[in-house]
Amino acid sequence: MFPKEVYQNRRNNLKKLMLDKGQKGLILFLGNKDVPFNYTANIYPFRQDSNFLYFFGIDKPDLAAIIDLDNDKEIIFGDELTIDDIIWMGNMPSISELANQVGVYKTKAITDLEVTIKQALKQNRDIHFLPPYRGEIKHWLQRLLGIEYQYTTYYASVPLIESVVALREIKDQYEIEEIERAVHVAYQMHTTAMKMAKPGVKEQQIAGAIQGISLSHEGPVSFPVIVTVNGQILHNTSYDNILQQGQLLLVDAGAESRLHYASDITRTTPVGGKFNQRQKDIYQIVLEANKQAIEAIRPGKLYRDVHLLAARIIAQGLKDLGLLDGNVDDIVEQGAHALFFPHGLGHMLGLDVHDMEGLGENYVGYTSTLKRSSQFGLAFLRLAKQLKPGFVLTVEPGIYFIPELIDLWRREGKFVDFINYDKVEQFKDFGGIRIEDDVLVTDSGARVLGKPIPKEVEEVEKLCAEN
């Protein structure tokens, strides 16, 4: 856990933001429960809810907490261990001991939560809660509040969502250190994968090796790892292929730190350790987009504009190779480049790999005046708003040749003035390249977090040759 004051300050800031918005009543936080894997007693590794971790820090299942805005009170609800729990899991600190560590001095049994909530409802008090994303939490909310299961997300408190985003989006020194620790683990994962990228090796072996590295350092991976020679499939989590000379291996993977902060890094490596000319040409464009985007990051800048800068670099590069034609600004404005770069430049990173996505992506990445575009490609940009010091985000441009999308657009006659389809046909077996770093917005610019992970062509080839 962080020092007690960190959690106290976070809760005090939350109270202040809510009161400043004219809100009253109770804020209800429901912690996560253990989830059965294939039968009740065989559970998935426990992952606490990120908002519960942020405000209350206790990494245990079956807890809830209330902040009473009207009476300035905080209570953690949870049951003490039974003798059976102690026999099977060992003794652990009591709920009140854990609560003391995060500066909460009142605890109650979990059954008292229902009593407290029913009483508040009877008094017509407001009960603010965040959008639930797990079925059992929706059921819990239904039982406590009498809201139908399927409407529990709909009744989540918008002032609470906005307040939580305003706090969590700015990372303090403790959080930056945690994320950096997670990037250090990612360094080990990615350099290992690069060295393993040899003909005859299975994707599965590399996927297993890098997950083991994560687990043996601080915690599990921060999301299902992507280890694929089919990098054109953006979230490909099958590992069925055997690597062959001439292919590219795309690895998108990160770790969780001990306190559950995430890293999220992508590297693309030539199988066998040497890029061919065609691969090098495309790789250099993506690398240029990655580096210039990082260079362009500074407080006050819209991340949408950084995305569009990366898009223009990609369009210019592909134009130089004869895959695109025409004016680069027109290509990007009309969205023709999205055939090759169909996703956004990046997202916030923190306790969640797509930080706070469970609260609603538009609350995190957009504002009341900056709305999400509906254009293919730009519509998938998760973070568009003005950058502030303390934001941590990913920069992850890519170029992909997706045969099905190429065929579809060609059939539909899309952007025939911009896209040289005959030339693009020759790249249908190319796969995809993405290069992703984790970046802190500083007072004057940006800092790439962690020890630099090789990404220049020569660095990657040198590392591959090491083993």
Q: Which CB atom, from 110 or from 234, has the smaller least distance to ligand GLY?
A: 234
Q: In the complex, what is the shortest distance from the CB of residue 365 to Mn ion, in angstroms, rounded to a whole number? A: 13
- Residue 28 Cβ, how far from ligand GLY at the closest point, in Å? 30
Q: CB count, 10 Å around CB of 135?
A: 10
| Closer CB to ligand GLY, 53 or 262, in the complex | 262
Q: Which is nearer to Mn ion, 265 or 419 (CB)?
A: 265
Distance between CA atoms of residues 254 and 239, nearest Å: 17
Q: Of these partners, ligand GLY, Mn ion, none, which one is at the site of residue 316 (CB under 5 to 8 Å by kind)?
A: none
Nearest residue (CB) to Mn ion, 249 versus 406:
249
- Pick between residue 11 and residue 171 the one whose CB is nearest to ligand GLY: 171
Phi-psi region of 385 (alpha: psi -120 to 50; beta: other; left: phi over 0): beta
The span from the CA of 371 to the CA of 381, in Å, is: 11
Residue 2 or 223 with smaller CB distance to ligand GLY: 223
**What minimum distance in Å lies between the beta carbon of 397 and ligand GLY?**
12
**Residue 269 contact partner, candidates Mn ion, ligand GLY, none, CB within 5 to 8 A by sort of partner:** none
Q: 223 or 421, CB closer to ligand GLY?
A: 223
R_g of the chain computed on alpha carbons: 24
Q: Which of 10, 440, 453 is nearest to 191 (CA)?
A: 453
In the bound complex, what is the minimum distance in angstroms from residue 365's beta carbon to ligand GLY? 13
In whole angstroms, the minimum distance from the beta carbon of 262 to ligand GLY comes to: 9
Residues facing 64 on adjacent strands: 30, 77
The stretches of 111-156 forming alpha helices (DSSP H) are: 111-122, 135-145
For residues 60 and 260, what is the distance between their CA atoms, to the nearest angstrom?
Answer: 13
How many C-beta atoms surround the C-beta of residue 393 within 10 A? 27
- Closer residue to ligand GLY (CB): 11 or 304: 304
Which amino acid is it at 143?
Answer: R
CB of residue 48 vs ligand GLY: minimum separation in angstroms? 21
Closest distance to Mn ion from the beta carbon of 436 (Å): 6
**Considering the complex, what minimum distance in angstroms separates the CB of residue 349 from ligand GLY?**
9
- Residue 290 binds what, of ligand GLY, Mn ion, none (CB under 5 to 8 Å, by partner type)? none
- The neighbouring-strand residues paired with 267 are 251
Contact between 67 and 15 (Cβ < 8 Å): yes
Interface with Mn ion by CB under 5 A: which residues? 264, 394
Residue 149 DSSP symbol: G
The distance of closest approach from Cβ of residue 272 to ligand GLY in the complex, given in angstroms and rounded to an integer, is 25
**CB-based contacts of 3, cutoff 8 Å, min separation 6:** none
Q: How many beta carbons lie within 10 A of that of residue 36, not counting itself?
A: 12
Q: Tell me the closest approach of the beta carbon of residue 185 to ligand GLY, in angstroms.
A: 15
Is 466 within 8 Å of 198 (Cβ atoms)? no
Compute the residue count for the chain: 467
Give CA–CA dist 237/139, Å, rounded: 30
Question: Which is closer to Mn ion, CB of 273 or CB of 346?
Answer: 346
Closer Cβ to ligand GLY, 218 or 264, answer by number: 264
Which does residue 49 bind out of Mn ion, ligand GLY, none, counting CB within 5 to 8 angstroms by kind?
none
Q: Which does 437 bind (CB under 5 to 8 A by kind): ligand GLY, Mn ion, none?
A: none
Q: Quote the least distance from Cβ 265 to Mn ion, whole Å.
A: 8
- Please spell the DSSP secondary structure of 345-393, one letter per residue: S--B-SSSSSTTGGG-HHHHH--SSSPPP-STTGGG-S--SB--TT-EE
Q: Looking at beta carbons only, is 191 or 394 nearer to Mn ion?
A: 394
**Given CA atoms 130, 300, 317, 459 in this order, what sign does their dihedral have?**
negative
Beta bridge partners of 39: 42
- Name the strand (E) or helix (H) holding 101: helix 95-101
- Residue 111 to residue 443: CA distance in whole angstroms: 47
Residue 100: both structure tokens together: 């003391």
Binding site for ligand GLY (CB under 6 A): 223, 252, 264
Cα(297)–Cα(387) distance, integer angstroms: 8
Partner in contact with 361, chosen from ligand GLY, Mn ion, none, beta carbon below 5 to 8 Å by kind: none
- In this structure, which amino acid lies at residue 458? E
Answer with the entry of Mn ion, ligand GLY, none that 263 interacts with (C-beta below 5 to 8 A by kind).
none
